[in-house]
C-alpha cells in the first residue's frame, strides 16, 4: 500500500507539471498578487487571466493568511472586508492554501504556466508551522513554489491578530525560514522596517533584527516585501543607504526586495529627487528587485494595472538592463530555480522515482 501511495504521488507531480513556457515579451511578471481579500473572497483565476491579458506574464499567487472577524457586537450589520474597517480581531485561516491549490489545479496545464502559487496559511509564531507547510506540499505536489506573503511586524495588523504577537525574535520564524531553505521554497516576508511613529535620529526599529534574520538563513531565497515600507511606514532619509548596506554585503546575496503596492509607490515617486535616487539604486543593483502589484482580487484591468502605472516615473529612469530584470528577468530566475528545487524535494519525499520534474 505504501508503494502504491508513493507511485500515485509521483504520478501526480508528473501530471501537474509540464515544461516551462518560453519567455515572451510582456510588460511584467507580478511578484506580489492576492487572489482573495481579508474575508477570503476574491476573483476566479479564469476571470483574472482575462484581466492579465497578454502583457502580464506570470504571477506569484497568494492568498491572505488572515481572516477579518465579523463581530456583530462591534459592527452590527456592517460586514468589514478589510482590516482597517473594523476594530475586531484577525485570525489565521489555514484553509486558504487549499483554496489556492484547488483554484490552480482547476486550470489547464497551459494556464498553470502563468502562476506560481505560494503557501500562506500558517501562524509564524507556531513551532508547528513547518508541519503545516510540509502537509500542504505533500497533499498538493507540483503546485507550490514558495511561502508568503506572511507578516511579522505590520502596521495596524500585528496588534489585531489573535494569540501571540509575531516577532523577529521568535524561534518559530527561524524554523520556518530554515525549512524553506531546505525545500527550496521562495519566501515573501512582510516586515515593516520601522514603527508608524519612529524615534527621530535612531535607526529604523526593526532593521537590525531583520538583518540578523536574513543573515542567519543564507540558503533561503527571501523577498522582503516593499523593502519594509507600508501605508504609513515611510522611508527614513537614509532608507536607500540601508538597502545599499545589505546589497553590498555578500552575506545577504540571497536577499531581494519587491517594490509593490500603490501605497509604497507614493514614497518612490513623491518627488523628482526620490525617483532619481530609487532609479540610481536599481540601476546599480538591478538583480535585487522584483516588481509586484500587491493587487487584491481586482475588479477590472484598470484596477489591476494601477500600481504598474503609478511607478511610471521610475520606469522612465531605469536603464534597459535594470528595467528588464526588475519587471520580469529576476522573477523568472528566482521562481524557475525554486520550482526545480521544490519538485526535487517532493520526489525525494516519495522515495525518488523517474519522470519529469519540470512544472510548467
Instruction: Evaluate if residue 355 carries a pLDDT over 50.
Output: no
Cα separation, 230 vs 244, whole angstroms: 19
Cα separation, 318 vs 150, whole angstroms: 29
Cα separation, 265 vs 324, whole angstroms: 19
pLDDT at res. 358 = 41
Contact status, residue 236 vs residue 204, Cβ threshold 8 Å: yes
pLDDT at res. 11 = 44
pLDDT at res. 15 = 42
pLDDT confidence tier of residue 21, bands split at 50, 70 and 90: very low
pLDDT, tens digit, 9 for 90 and up, residues 54-75: 999 999 999 999 988 888 888 8
Residue range 307-324: average pLDDT? 97
Cell of 154: 505590520
Lowest model confidence (mean pLDDT) among 4-8, 25-29, 32-36: 4-8
pLDDT at res. 22 = 42
Cα separation, 172 vs 45, whole angstroms: 33
pLDDT at res. 204 = 96
Percentage of the residues of the chain whose pLDDT score is greater than 70: 91
Instruction: Evaluate if residue 319 carries a pLDDT over 50.
Output: yes
Lowest model confidence (mean pLDDT) among 14-18, 54-58, 61-65, 277-281: 14-18
pLDDT, tens digit, 9 for 90 and up, residues 79-115: 788 777 788 889 899 999 999 999 999 999 999 999 9
pLDDT at res. 352 = 65
Quickly list H helices, the chain.
Answer: 2-16, 45-52, 72-75, 96-105, 109-112, 129-139, 171-183, 207-216, 239-247, 262-268, 272-284, 301-310, 312-315, 320-324, 330-349
pLDDT, tens digit, 9 for 90 and up, residues 287-312: 999 999 999 999 999 999 999 999 99
Q: How many helices (H) and strands (E) does the chain have?
A: 15, 11
Q: Which listed CATH number (3.20.20.140, 3.60.110.10, 3.40.50.300, 3.40.190.10) goes with 33-349? A: 3.20.20.140
| 304: nearest Cα among 294, 290, 319 | 294
pLDDT confidence tier of residue 4, bands split at 50, 70 and 90: very low
Instruction: Show me where the domains of the chain are located.
Output: 33-349
The partner residues of 90 in beta bridges, in order of sequence, read 68, 161
Amino acid at each position: 500500500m505504501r508503494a502504491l501511495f508513493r507511485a500515485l504521488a509521483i504520478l501526480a507531480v508528473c501530471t501537474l507539471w509540464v515544461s516551462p513556457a518560453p519567455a515572451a515579451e510582456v510588460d511584467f511578471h507580478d511578484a506580489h498578487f492576492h487572489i482573495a481579500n481579508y474575508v477570503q473572497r476574491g476573483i476566479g483565476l479564469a476571470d483574472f487571466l482575462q484581466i492579465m491579458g497578454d502583457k502580464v506574464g506570470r504571477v506569484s499567487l497568494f492568498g491572505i493568511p488572515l481572516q477579518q472577524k465579523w463581530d456583530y457586537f462591534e459592527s452590527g450589520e456592517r460586514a468589514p472586508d478589510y482590516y482597517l474597517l473594523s476594530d475586531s480581531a484577525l485570525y489565521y485561516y489555514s484553509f486558504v492554501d487549499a483554496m489556492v491549490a484547488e483554484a490552480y489545479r482547476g486550470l489547464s496545464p497551459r494556464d498553470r504556466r502563468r502562476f506560481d502559487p505560494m503557501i500562506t496559511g500558517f501562524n509564524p509564531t507556531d513551532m508547528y508551522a513547518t508541519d503545516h507547510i510540509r502537509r500542504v506540499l505533500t497533499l498538493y505536489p507540483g503546485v507550490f513554489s514558495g511561502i508568503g506573503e506572511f507578516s511579522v511586524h505590520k502596521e495596524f495588523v500585528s496588534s489585531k491578530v489573535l494569540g501571540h504577537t509575531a516577532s523577529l525574535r521568535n524561534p518559530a520564524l527561524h524554523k520556518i525560514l530554515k525549512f524553506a531553505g531546505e525545500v527550496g521554497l521562495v519566501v515573501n516576508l512582510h516586515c515593516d522596517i520601522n514603527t508608524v511613529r519612529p524615534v527621530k535620529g535612531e535607526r529604523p526599529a526593526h532593521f537590525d533584527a531583520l538583518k540578523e534574520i536574513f543573515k542567519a538563513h543564507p540558503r533561503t531565497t527571501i523577498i522582503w516585501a516593499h523593502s519594509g515600507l507600508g501605508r504609513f511606514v515611510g522611508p527614513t532619509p537614509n532608507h536607500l543607504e540601508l538597502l545599499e548596506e545589505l546589497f553590498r554585503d555578500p552575506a545577504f546575496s540571497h536577499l531581494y526586495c519587491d517594490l509593490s503596492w500603490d501605497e509604497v509607490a507614493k514614497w518612490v515617486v513623491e518627488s523628482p529627487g526620490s525617483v532619481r535616487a530609487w532609479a540610481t539604486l536599481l540601476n546599480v543593483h538591478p538583480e535585487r528587485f522584483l516588481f509586484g502589484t500587491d493587487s487584491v482580487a481586482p475588479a477590472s484591468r484598470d484596477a489591476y494595472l494601477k500600481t504598474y502605472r503609478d511607478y511610471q516615473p521610475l520606469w522612465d529612469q531605469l536603464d534597459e538592463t535594470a528595467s528588464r530584470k526588475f519587471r520580469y528577468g529576476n522573477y523568472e530566475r528566482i521562481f524557475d530555480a525554486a520550482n526545480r528545487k521544490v519538485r526535487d524535494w517532493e520526489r525525494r519525499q516519495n522515495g525518488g522515482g523517474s519522470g519529469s520534474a519540470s512544472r510548467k
